[in-house]
């Protein structure tokens, strides 16, 4: 009887080991898949010059004609008197925070933030950061750029871009910056935090608007861009804290081609 008991124990534990091994290989597979989706970067052979070669779905990165970001040359901007300012409806917003390997991204956990462009409603889904800025004004980059990404009911995207320059500490970002997830693919534990997005916007409502794309693979076009002319501020320490995690995560400016940039909200 005792012998059988040992035999059973031996069989049972080898079964458990097999089960563990299987689980391990599944975990491995998940990690591989994630790595494949994020194998683009901002440097060398997987950097912006090569995004188009990395995956067939990235073709717009090389073949697109309306790519972002762009350099906004102020003398070439059209002041469109008919273009009314966009309605931005932001409020204090709870979010979760993640380091997705390319940027720090805050995912809004409510759908209450929205903007209206030409009577179409776009809801805020997430916002994230680049350094240095992706858009240029008259050939100059800012220290950082914030992108607030919205989508409408058909999945069409509208992104608000805010330039960030060194200055006073930005209090709206204080609690987020207290727990920036430094490790790639790490989730922050920030469900308890709330950011006041309305208070974040610059006083001057002048914006540049143009038709562009995602600035990361797959560089999908038909993205409505709204870039505020007035920058917001962050302290040197806040900017450096981000740059310690991502020293450079910006795509260089792309050709404007036939596009017009309109100015509104003055």
Residues near Zn ion, by CB under 5 A? 147
Q: How far is the CB of 68 from Zn ion (least distance, A)?
A: 9
Nearest residue to Zn ion on Cβ basis: 147
Q: How far is the CB of 147 from Zn ion (least distance, A)?
A: 4
Radius of gyration of the chain (CA): 23
Of 90 and 225, the one with the shorter C-beta distance to Zn ion is 225
Task: Show the tokens assigned to 200.
Answer: 């974040």
Coil, strand or helix at 81: coil
Residues contacting residue 101 through CB under 8 Å, at least 6 positions apart: 38, 184, 185
Q: How far is the CB of 246 from Zn ion (least distance, A)?
A: 12
**Phi, psi for residue 158 in degrees, rounded to 5:** -135, 130
Q: How far is the CB of 224 from Zn ion (least distance, A)?
A: 14
Closest CA to 201 of 179, 232, 225, 223: 232
Asked whether the beta carbons of 134 and 69 are under 8 A apart, the reply is yes
**Phi, psi for residue 76 in degrees, rounded to 5:** -95, -5
Asked whether the beta carbons of 197 and 91 are under 8 A apart, the reply is yes
Of 33 and 102, the one with the shorter C-beta distance to Zn ion is 102
29 burial type by CB count under 10 A (0-12 exposed, 13-18 middle, 19+ buried) = exposed
Q: How far is the CB of 232 from Zn ion (least distance, A)?
A: 15
Q: How far is the CB of 172 from Zn ion (least distance, A)?
A: 18
Tokens 């003398």 sit on residue: 75
The span from the first CA to the last CA of the chain, in angstroms, equals: 90
Coil, strand or helix at 150: strand
Q: How far is the CB of 130 from Zn ion (least distance, A)?
A: 5
């Amino acid at each position: 009887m005792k012998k059988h008991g040992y035999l059973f124990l031996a069989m049972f534990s080898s079964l458990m080991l097999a089960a563990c091994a299987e689980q391990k290989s599944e975990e491995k597979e998940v990690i591989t898949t994630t790595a494949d989706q994020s194998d683009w970067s901002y440097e060398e052979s997987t950097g912006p010059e090569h995004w188009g070669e990395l995956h067939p779905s990235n073709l717009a990165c090389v073949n697109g004609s309306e790519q972002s970001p762009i350099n906004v040359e102020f003398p070439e901007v059209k002041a469109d008197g008919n273009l009314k300012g966009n309605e931005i409806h932001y409020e204090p917003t709870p979010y979760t925070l993640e380091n997705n390997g390319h940027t720090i991204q805050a995912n809004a956990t409510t759908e209450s933030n929205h903007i209206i462009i030409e009577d179409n409603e776009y809801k805020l889904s997430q916002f994230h950061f680049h350094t240095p800025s992706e858009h240029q004004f008259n050939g100059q980059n800012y220290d950082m750029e914030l992108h607030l990404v919205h989508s409408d009911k058909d999945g069409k995207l509208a992104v608000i871009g805010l330039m960030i320059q060194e200055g006073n500490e930005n209090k709206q970002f204080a609690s987020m910056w207290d727990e920036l997830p430094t490790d790639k693919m790490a989730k922050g534990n920030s469900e308890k935090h709330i950011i006041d997005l309305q208070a974040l916007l610059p006083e001057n409502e002048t914006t540049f608007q143009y038709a562009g794309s995602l600035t990361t693979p797959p560089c999908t076009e038909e993205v409505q861009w709204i870039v505020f002319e007035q920058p917001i501020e962050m302290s040197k320490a806040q900017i450096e804290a981000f740059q310690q995690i991502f020293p450079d995560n910006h795509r260089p400016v792309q050709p404007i081609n036939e596009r017009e940039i309109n100015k509104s909200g003055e």
